[in-house]
């Protein structure tokens, strides 16, 4: 028997769930580092510009596609194109991408669980040691934590849209906001915190290069969970009574605010640790920043608040990042699940069990990619660097394919669905959209400058990673 399609209970439910997806590791770690390396407030201005003029229209197009078709990405591209095969194939890319991103995001989230446990047991000092991360990610006991994490994630997903995804976001997102604010206020009271704020907020336009602009677009795109099929699927759970432009704007504001506050937390913390920090000291990889660098920073706070105090601050921070990662993980795993339900007519229970098995099959080699198995650790090499299985999944699906999927969404919406179709969907629940400046901007940009920008990002990523 076909189950009734899930729906968010209200506009707020949608906004919290979509913000839960958008707020993730990208906000908590990648953004602060990128901003401080790329000219501080100068980067912030470019980033805001990218959010408003490149990402916001794509976000609305994705959500509108979902709401119109009432389907997952495969169903949405197929249905709106009138069953054209090549668009169905594009839709399949919109399922494969989140499926694979979930694989390596799961592994990172497992590390967060292990860090929280270690800190709770008094091990902050051990984690701050130079070899700690390398040793910890090669432990076979990670599988135990993997099983624990997957049990939580799939239990939530079994609860469906309202009882699972939305309920989780309703609890975790406000908690996350409060924890972030409290930690930020605490860090700002540390000596030298002001040096971090200055570093973060004084614009330095001399650092702005074409690569910085490229990074700003691709990071904004990734931070809003675009190109992953998430917003198409969440759009299919969005009420016809509510305004897409308005709710989308709220999600973008929430996501950007969290990124901004994460900067106000992390940069002052780093400068309190060492007032002479320079951009070269800031790690380029989010993973090494969170797992290797930040434990040292938290440990250094023991001078001010004692070892227990420093451990509490570290535990709150890692729990905060864990909440952000968990809501993102749940959102991305829902995409293949919605596909199995819509396209294969699985019940939610059967789809969840199937997806849990499929994800486990890929998550095991990804977990073994950091030293546990030589085969998966030295899986292949390209761009002159040896790459693990984990790296390949991250490079291909996270860094490369997202802008490509975004490009296809723009081309599809502008030339197959046509702007008139998109506009009429965006007018549902929003009487003011027709004839607005926003509509005019979308009509002009979605088939022209935005796909060109995304294509440039895609090609330059190819050069950066593979050549």
Which one of 16, 18, 19, 22 is in contact with ligand PFF (CB under 6 A)?
22
Q: Does 21 bind ligand PFF (CB under 6 A)?
A: yes
> Using CB under 6 A, which of the segments 97-105, 262-270, 368-376, 456-464 binds ligand PFF?
97-105
Query: Minimum distance from CB of 199 to ligand PFF (Å)?
Result: 22
- Contacts of 421-427 with C-beta under 8 Å, sequence gap 24+, read 421/68, 421/80, 422/61, 422/64, 422/446, 425/64, 425/67, 425/68, 425/244, 426/60, 426/64, 426/244, 426/245
Q: Does 256 bind ligand PFF (CB under 6 A)?
A: no
CB 104 within 8 A of CB 394: yes
The residue among 24 and 429 lying less far from ligand PFF, judged by its C-beta, is 24
Query: Minimum distance from CB of 226 to ligand PFF (Å)?
Result: 9
Q: Does 102 bind ligand PFF (CB under 6 A)?
A: yes
For 362, other C-beta atoms within 10 Å of its C-beta total 18
Query: Minimum distance from CB of 104 to ligand PFF (Å)?
Result: 9
Q: Does 223 bind ligand PFF (CB under 6 A)?
A: yes
Q: Does 165 bind ligand PFF (CB under 6 A)?
A: no
Which one of 38, 225, 286, 367 is in contact with ligand PFF (CB under 6 A)?
225
> Using CB under 6 A, which of the segments 76-84, 101-109, 111-119, 265-273 binds ligand PFF?
101-109
Q: Residue count at the site for ligand PFF (CB under 6 A)?
A: 16
Euclidean distance between CA atoms 132 and 355, whole angstroms: 32
CB 282 within 8 A of CB 270: yes
Query: Which residues ranging from 46 to 85 are in contact with ligand PFF (CB under 6 A)?
Result: none
For 132, other C-beta atoms within 10 Å of its C-beta total 19
Q: Does 34 bind ligand PFF (CB under 6 A)?
A: no
Query: Minimum distance from CB of 409 to ligand PFF (Å)?
Result: 16
The residue among 226 and 272 lying less far from ligand PFF, judged by its C-beta, is 226
Burial of residue 420 (CB within 10 Å: 0-12, 13-18, 19+) is: exposed
Q: Does 294 bind ligand PFF (CB under 6 A)?
A: no
**CA gyration radius for the chain?**
22
> Using CB under 6 A, which of the segments 59-67, 217-225, 303-311, 363-371 binds ligand PFF?
217-225
> Using CB under 6 A, which of the segments 16-24, 288-296, 440-448, 452-460 binds ligand PFF?
16-24
Euclidean distance between CA atoms 164 and 178, whole angstroms: 22
The residue among 87 and 222 lying less far from ligand PFF, judged by its C-beta, is 222
Query: Minimum distance from CB of 329 to ligand PFF (Å)?
Result: 5
> Using CB under 6 A, which of the segments 64-72, 192-200, 219-227, 437-445 binds ligand PFF?
219-227
> Using CB under 6 A, which of the segments 3-11, 87-95, 100-108, 135-143 binds ligand PFF?
100-108
Q: Does 331 bind ligand PFF (CB under 6 A)?
A: yes
Which one of 332, 422, 453, 457 is in contact with ligand PFF (CB under 6 A)?
332
Which one of 38, 247, 277, 328 is in contact with ligand PFF (CB under 6 A)?
328
The residue among 24 and 164 lying less far from ligand PFF, judged by its C-beta, is 24
Which one of 46, 54, 64, 101 is in contact with ligand PFF (CB under 6 A)?
101
Residue with the shortest CB distance to ligand PFF? 24
Give the binding site for ligand PFF (CB under 6 A).
Answer: 21-22, 24-27, 101-102, 105, 222-223, 225, 328-329, 331-332
């Amino acid at each position: 028997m076909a189950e009734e399609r899930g729906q968010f209970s209200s506009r707020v439910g949608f906004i919290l769930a979509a913000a839960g997806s958008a707020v993730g590791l990208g906000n908590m770690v990648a953004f602060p580092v990128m901003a401080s390396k790329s000219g501080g407030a100068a980067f912030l201005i470019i980033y805001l510009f990218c959010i408003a003029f490149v990402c916001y229209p794509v976000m609305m197009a994705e959500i509108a596609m979902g709401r119109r078709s009432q389907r997952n990405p495969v169903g949405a591209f197929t249905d709106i194109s009138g069953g054209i095969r090549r668009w169905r194939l594009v839709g399949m890319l919109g399922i494969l991408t989140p499926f694979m991103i979930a694989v390596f995001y799961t592994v990172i989230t497992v590390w967060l669980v292990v860090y929280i446990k270690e800190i709770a047991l008094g091990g902050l000092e051990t984690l701050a040691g130079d070899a700690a991360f390398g040793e910890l990610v090669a432990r076979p006991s990670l599988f135990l934590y993997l099983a624990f994490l997957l049990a939580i994630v799939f239990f939530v997903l079994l609860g469906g849209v309202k009882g699972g995804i939305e309920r989780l976001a309703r609890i975790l997102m406000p908690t996350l906001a409060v924890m972030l604010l409290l930690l930020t206020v605490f860090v700002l009271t540390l000596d030298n915190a002001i040096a971090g704020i200055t570093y973060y907020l004084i614009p330095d336009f001399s650092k702005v290069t074409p690569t910085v602009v490229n990074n700003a677009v691709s990071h904004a795109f990734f931070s809003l969970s675009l190109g992953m099929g998430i917003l198409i699927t969440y759009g299919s759970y969005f009420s016809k009574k509510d305004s897409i432009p308005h709710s989308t704007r709220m999600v973008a504001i929430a996501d950007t605010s969290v990124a901004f506050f994460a900067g106000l937390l992390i940069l002052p913390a780093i400068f309190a640790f060492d007032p002479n920090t320079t951009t070269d000291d800031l790690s380029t990889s989010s993973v090494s920043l969170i797992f290797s660098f930040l434990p040292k920073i938290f440990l250094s706070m023991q001078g001010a608040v004692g070892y227990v105090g420093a451990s509490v601050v570290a535990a709150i921070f890692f729990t905060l990042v864990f909440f952000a990662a968990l809501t993102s993980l749940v959102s991305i795993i829902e995409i293949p699940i919605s596909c199995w339900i819509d396209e294969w007519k699985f019940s939610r229970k059967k789809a969840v069990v199937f997806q849990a098995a499929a994800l486990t099959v890929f998550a095991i080699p990804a977990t073994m990619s950091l030293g546990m198995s030589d085969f998966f650790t030295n899986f292949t090499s390209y761009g002159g660097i040896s790459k693990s299985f984990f790296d390949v999944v991250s490079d291909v699906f996270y860094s490369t394919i997202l802008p490509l999927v975004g490009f296809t969404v723009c081309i599809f919406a502008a030339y197959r669905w046509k702007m008139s179709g998109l506009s009429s969907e965006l007018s549902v629940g929003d009487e003011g959209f027709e004839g607005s400046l926003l509509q005019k901007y979308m009509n002009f940009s979605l088939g022209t400058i935005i796909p060109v920008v995304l294509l440039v990002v895609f090609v330059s990523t190819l050069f950066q990673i593979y050549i």
